[in-house]
Chain A
């Protein structure tokens, strides 16, 4: 399709042609022509946010829960700079987002014009790619390319900066069918020889482990299905990073729980002691490896990743396979079957025996209390109340995030959305709103902390305006609990500025927004209060008053290897757990 139209009309047409149904945005002088073009159509629905950071997190929640790209529209200057945190978040977690920013007219660029900022300069390091469109005849191509780049290969955020004069100018629109990207052609299929070598290694393994990550989710539901099939066929244990939860069902007996800094003892010990590690769509991040030179010292490592720069970045691997998880797992399964591979049943059985002894340490256990709600208990009860429902969970950042990862269990991919790479407080509420937009009939819950929730709480107003009945479940410990925990670990329990002073009355605050507020502080009342929250068809802020001093365990102290975890039955000596070297780590 080729047609003459204005730049602003091209933006809307391109979104329609890309199949976009929802976008998240905030108007301003430099995007008014696009808002006007939006006014003349009703195919793309616009969700008006309260802060541009919220718009990007909503787009992320939308993308992660639906598998489609999230779309953002913001104005120049402060609109663009407010979006930077969200863009960085999407970059680190590999989430496809297309963010359109307005810019001052081309003849004013570089003159410090009103609401001018160097958007492409500022966002260059926090996007997968970005464009400044100076000619209206390039606009349609650039927009389609932006969707292509955001969604293909390792996904990520793409910014398209459009000066206001380009939005008014007339030019020729071309449809997406005419666009073929010249250079960016990521490799999807893995190398056959490497796949064969990997399968041979896996088939001979005596202590194998599957270490899976967000790449499995990003590769689509088929990748999760293939992972399950491979696990069933081989009988090997499976663990996952924070980002990958849900790709493998938590109820399965081969599931070890999450690994890493706050992962289970059995997952981390299996990683440490394994002889063959299959890393699927994960990136050996520092939260996962612990002390690098002591990371899984005796294993041969296979690494499947679509991004060659993830290979050998932190950890040297023996067999790198560059490709999309779905394609590579498919080929691995075919090869496995073709070779009639038979795992070493006796070795694997004794490996499971070892794992079961680690499991018996019950590393996620905690001391229950009849008087105060333990945060872990709150998550357990929440999980119990909603596990048979069609539910999506987002989180903020802190202890509550880790407790959610440990005690809420996921059966399916795309159900769990948390800021893993950047660790952005304020992510959860807007991400929940985005997920609710994609799934209006589903239950969406943001598991939050009382400090984090205040970072983007204004988006409650968005939830009200668009009838998005998200539930915010605040584990209120009156502390920036994760900061307090590290002050215990590193700074002699001197709680410098980690107490959540002058907290608002969250119940009244929810009501002030027009939502529902619920408070619960006694374990005996918790189930009923959760039911009350679930019954409401409006946004609810649930203020769950929990134990103030609970620490999040188990934990690999920074600078320590996997086999030196602090377990809940030996929490003493927390203040001596970290060595001098470990102190400089975050």
Chain B
């Protein structure tokens, strides 16, 4: 498949509006695994209870031809209403939330608090020997925060994955 693989891979953030029915997530995940596409991040939640719609944000990487394939393959799934490529439509707002636990005493503890403060992370749980921080931001910011906490007694990280929305007055 030389035609396809010659082009360098790009990272795209896709927003999907889908029927919130059983199996819809399995359909989407199955499409990615079955056709060998990448999922870098995936978030799902119902956004309209009345019309039972969910919004899915998928971050994927692939050559431009593959990205086009992914979009049209997603679009032809029956419960998928809309597929919008936020990377193409212009700068979108992308945010992720993470909860991060560190353990330590004394100086190390002080250091962790300082770093959390400079990243505007909130402390949501405290014991005498641990903290849980909550941070929201672009994925890269969270990556950076986590790597700084690594030598300071990092215990575990829980991340939501990216939620994204287009800028400006119009909806998807």
Contact = CB atoms under 8 A, between A and B. Distances in A.
Interface of A: 120-121, 124-125, 128-129, 132, 149, 153-154, 182-184, 292-293, 307-309, 311-316
Best-surrounded residue of B1, B19, B73, B76 (most CB of chain A within 10 A): B76
A153 B30 CA distance: 22
Contact of A309 (B1, B30, B76, B78): B76
Interface string B1-12: 111000000000
Contact of B2 (A184, A293, A307): A293
B91 interface: no
Given A292-B1, A309-B69, A309-B73, 19 more contacts: A120-B23, A124-B26, A124-B27, A125-B30, A128-B78, A129-B77, A182-B19, A183-B78, A183-B81, A292-B2, A292-B3, A293-B2, A308-B76, A309-B76, A311-B72, A312-B65, A312-B69, A314-B1, A314-B3
Contacts of B94: none
A462 to B, nearest CB: 32
B34 interface: yes
Interface string B54-92: 000000000001001100110111111100000000000
A149 to B, nearest CB: 6
B168 interface: no
B22 interface: yes
Contacts of B69: 309, 312-313
Nearest to A307: B76
Nearest to A154: B76
A168 B30 CA distance: 33
Nearest to B17: A183
A316 B65 contact: yes
24 contacts: A124-B26, A124-B30, A128-B78, A129-B77, A153-B76, A154-B76, A183-B78, A292-B1, A292-B2, A307-B72, A307-B76, A308-B72, A308-B75, A309-B69, A309-B72, A309-B73, A309-B76, A312-B65, A312-B69, A313-B69, A314-B1, A315-B3, A316-B3, A316-B65
Contact of A312 (B68, B75, B77): B68
Contacts of A129: 77-78
Contact of B22 (A132, A153, A308): A132
Contacts of A292: 1-3
Contacts of B79: 183
Contacts of A316: 3, 65
Contacts of B80: 183
Contacts of B72: 307-309, 311
B128 to A, nearest CB: 44
Taking residues whose C-beta sits less than 8 angstroms from the other chain, chain B's interface range is 20 to 34
A119 to B, nearest CB: 11
Contacts of A121: 26
A393 B25 CA distance: 41
Interface string B95-111: 00000000000000000
Contacts of B1: 292, 314
Nearest to A186: B76
Given A293-B3, A309-B73, A309-B76, A183 B68 contact: no
Nearest to B82: A183
A313 B66 CA distance: 8
A154 B68 CA distance: 18
Nearest to A153: B76
Contacts of A293: 2-3
Contacts of A312: 65, 68-69
Nearest to A294: B2
A129 B30 CA distance: 13
Contacts of A128: 78
A261 B82 CA distance: 38
B20 to A, nearest CB: 13
B129 to A, nearest CB: 42
A183 B19 contact: yes
Contacts of B26: 121, 124
Interface string B29-69: 01000100000000000000000000000000000010011
A183 B30 CA distance: 21
Best-surrounded residue of A121, A125, A128, A311 (most CB of chain B within 10 A): A125
Nearest to A121: B26
Contacts of B81: 183
A309 B65 CA distance: 11
A184 B82 CA distance: 11
Contacts of A154: 76
B118 to A, nearest CB: 46
A121 B27 CA distance: 9
A183 B34 CA distance: 24
Question: What 8 A-B pairs are tightest by C-beta distance, nearest first?
Answer: A309-B72, A308-B72, A129-B78, A293-B2, A309-B73, A183-B81, A184-B78, A125-B34
Best-surrounded residue of B2, B19, B22, B72 (most CB of chain A within 10 A): B72
A511 to B, nearest CB: 46
Contacts of A124: 23, 26-27, 30
A534 B34 CA distance: 46
A183 B1 CA distance: 34
Contact of A149 (B3, B19, B75, B78): B78
A159 to B, nearest CB: 12
Nearest to B80: A183
Best-surrounded residue of A132, A153, A308 (most CB of chain B within 10 A): A308
Contacts of A182: 19
A385 to B, nearest CB: 44
A313 B76 CA distance: 14
A293 B65 CA distance: 15
Contacts of B77: 129
Contacts of A184: 78
